[in-house]
Structure 1
Amino acid sequence: MLINWKRRSLVALVLAIALLLIQYGPIPSQPTNQPEKELDKSLSCPITVSIDNVLAISWQPSFCETHQDKAECQSQDASDFDAKHFTLHGLWPQPRGKEYCCLPSNFPKKPWSSQPNFDDELDDETLALLEDRRMPGVESFLHRHEWYKHGTCYNPQSERPEEEYFEESLALLEQINNSSVQDLFASRIGRTVSLAQIQAAFDRDFGPGAGQKVNLKCDRQGRISELWINLAGDIKSDTPISELLATAKNARSQCRSGFIDPVGFSS
C-alpha cells in the first residue's frame, strides 16, 4: 500500500510540473556575468580583412624596466628568448581608433583577466609560441587585450579569427627576428643604436626604403622600447614582410637613437 501511494504521488508531481511548463514555459536560466567570447557579427564588424596595419614589437628588457611588477618581468632571465629577440606587442588595424569591433558597448576592457578566455580557439603550436616568450605578456593576459582591442578588427569574417590573427602576427615577428635587425640589436646590448642604423638594417634585408616605414619608440630614459612598423596589404602566414613594407606609408620617429637595455632592473 505504501509503495503504491508513493508511486501515485510521484506521478501526480510529474503531471503538475508538466502542466506548469505547458502554461508558463521553461524556467529561464540564470544570467551569467561572463561576457561571450564569440564575435557578434550583427554589430559594427568590418566585412573585409584589414590591409592597413601596424606591427608593434617590443624590446622586453626595456619594457620590464618600467613594469617591474609584471609577472613576465619578474620571471625574465638572460637565457630567455626575449632577452635577445623582439617580442610581440600586437598587430593593429588602422586607422587609429579602429578598436573593439563586433563587441557590445559594455564589453569589459579591464581587467584583462576578466575578458573571456579563447586559448582553446588557438592551435597548440600557436599558443605554445606565445607562451614561449614570443609574447611574454601572456602571463598578464596581454594576448586577451590585444585580441579584443585590435584582433577583432583584423578579419572577423574569418572562420578562425583568433588563430589567423596570432598565427600571422607571429609569422611577421619571426621574419624580423631572423633578420639583420635582430642581429643589430643583439650585438649592441648595453650600447646605443641610431634610427639610421636600424633603417639601414631594414633596407638591407627587406628592400630599399623599408626602413622609412619604422617608427622607433624610446622611453623617457632613452631606452628603445618598441618598433612600430607600417604594413600595407593582405597578410597571410607566408607573406614576405618585404612586400608589406614596399607600399606602406612612411613613419615618423621622434626618437633618433636609443639604448639597447639588457635583462635586469637598473634600479
Structure 2
Amino acid sequence: MGKYDHIPELTGPDTYFAWKREVAYSLGTEDLWCHVTDKVDRDDILGTASYRPIAVIPSAPTDAEAKSIREWLIEDIKAKAIITRRLSTSVQQLVSASHKVLARDAWKTLEDHFGRTDISSQHVIRQTLYALQMKDAADAPNYVGRHTVLRERLLNMGVAYSDEEAIFQLLRGLPRTMSWPHFKAIALSSSVSLSFDMCVARISAEAARIVDEHALESKPGSEYANAATSAPASVNPITGLCKHRHNPEGVSPLVSCRDNDTP
C-alpha cells in the first residue's frame, strides 16, 4: 500500500470534502501545509502561509537567493504532488502539470470547482441524505459512511445541520425488517441524549450483531442454528420474551409469561 493510498480519490463533489481532509492531514505531516494555506498567523507555525522568496533584483538573483528560491520551489512541487496524487482522470485535467502552477493554485482550483457552498449544492446534498436507505445489515458501513461524508459536507459549507436532524435522517433510512424497527423505536424514545457519532456506533454494532447471527445460523448443525430453529413459536426470537394475550408480539419486558393467565 502506497504512502498516500489512504486518501480517497477525488472524483467530484461527493468525495471532495473527505479528500480535502485527508490531503490536508498529509500535507501537515510533511510540513507542507504552508504551501497551500493563505493564512498568516505568527502563533501558528505549521499553519502560516509560505510564499516564494523574491530576489532583491528579480532579473539577477544572487546565488543565495537562487538557492532559496530553488529549495522553496522543490518543496512546493512536493506539496502539489500530494494534492494531485489521488485525482481521477477527469479531475486531473483541471490542474496543470507545469511547475509554474503552484500547489496553492492547484488547491484553489479544486476548491473553487468542487467546494461550492451555494444553495443549490446544499439542496442536492439534503436530497441525497433523504434518499439514503440501508439495504440490510451488511450495507451498514456504506450507509453510515455516506451519511457521515454528506453531513461533513454540509457542516463545511457552514450549514446549520444539528445532531438531532442528522440522527433523524440516520434512523429514517434504516430497514423495516428484522430488529431494525424495534431498534429505531428504542433510539427515538431513549431518554439519553444521543450524539451523531454515538448513533453511528450503535447502528454499526447492531448491524455487526445481525451479520454475526446470520453467519452462525448459516452453519448447518450448529448449536446456535438448532436452538434458533427449535425455539417455540410463542417466544419472540429477537427479545426472547413470551408472546401471549397481554404481550402478543413479545416485545414488552413489563409483562412476564406468568402473567399470561392474569385477567
On whether the aligned pair clears a TM of 0.5, the verdict is no
User: RCO (CA 8 Å, sep 6+): is it higher in 1 or 2?
Assistant: 1
Q: Please tell me whether Structure 1 or Structure 2 has the larger radius of gyration of its CA atoms.
A: 2
Q: Which has the higher strand share?
A: 1
More helix by share: 2
Query: Taking structure 1 as the reference length, what is the TM-score of the superposition?
Result: 0.26
Give the TM-score, by structure 2 length: 0.26
